[in-house]
Amino acid sequence: MAALSEHAIEEIRALPPRFPHIRSAVLPALDVAQDELGYLTREAMTEVAELLDLDPGYVEGVATFYTLLHLEPIGKHHFYVCTNLSCDLRGAYEICDHIKRRIGVEGFGEVSADGLFSLEEVECLGACEFAPMMRYQRRYHYDLTPEKVDALIEAARQNGGDRAADSPRDAAAASQKPPGRRASSRGPTKEDSAELNA
Ligand code: FES
């Protein structure tokens, strides 16, 4: 039985013509698979490899390299909080502790009892000017405060954990940054850089 739905398979099949090299399509293809399943199963990685006519070992190598790809189940809503220097100095670990308390987990990587949330600390996401910041549901969230985090958690609980309700695949249209500051030269990608709580 196929690991992926017909819709996901169609999305992946449409990717190769958009890239100069077939291997460049692996990352977005794995993203499609993860978006559908919540994490990358071995079957899903094999299916992606077959759809792109690539070696399964290569696809698995890509999947294990990137922290945004997960080989184990995570919460439907996953917090990627940057804890590198700028964010650390501006309270990233306090934000992490607050998230842990609010979702009821003890550590990074743990999934909340209701399956809705999990938390991960990540390396610099290229938006140091807006520290502390995180990636959450395909969007960047800047100048984090406990209140902003609480609003996100509450919204997720209210929509019953529906990923699609607050994580549009094409978030570019909503992309914006706090006014009056320069964007980082390595700033968020077009798809990743929308802020929910401006
Ligand atoms: S140190 Fe956090 S975004 Fe750069």
pLDDT tens figures, 99-142: 999 999 999 999 999 999 999 999 999 999 999 999 998 899 99
Q: What's the pLDDT tens digit per position in 24-60?
A: 999 999 999 998 998 999 999 999 999 999 999 999 9
Q: What is the DSSP string of the chain?
A: --SS-HHHHHHHHTSGGGSSSGGGGHHHHHHHHHHHHSS--HHHHHHHHHHHT--HHHHHHHHHH-TTS-SS---SEEEEEE-SHHHHHTTHHHHHHHHHHHHT-SSTTPBPTTSSEEEEEES--S-GGG-S-EEETTEEE-S--HHHHHHHHHHHHHTTT-HHHH--S--GGGB---TTSPPPTT---TTT-B-S--
| The CATH homologous superfamily of the domain defined by 77-174 | Glutaredoxin (3.40.30.10)
For the Cβ of 85 lying below 6 angstroms from any atom of ligand 1, the answer is yes
Q: Where does the chain hold its CATH 1.10.10 domain(s)?
A: 6-65
Mean pLDDT of the chain: 86
pLDDT, residue 164, reads 59
Residue ranges of the chain assigned to CATH 3.40.30.10: 77-174
Ligand 1 touching residue 82 (CB < 6 A): yes
133-186 pLDDT per residue, tens: 999 988 999 999 999 999 999 999 998 766 655 554 443 333 445 555 544 434
Evaluate: CB of 81 within 6 angstroms of ligand 1.
Answer: no
Quote the pLDDT of residue 183.
43
Separation between Cα atoms, residue 170 and residue 155, nearest integer Å: 20
Nearest atom, ligand 1, residue 82 CA: 2
Dist. CA 87 → ligand 1 center (Å): 5
Does 71 sit in the ligand 1 pocket, CB within 6 Å? no
Q: Is the CATH code 3.30.310 the one for domain 6-65?
A: no
Q: Is the pTM of this model over 0.85?
A: no
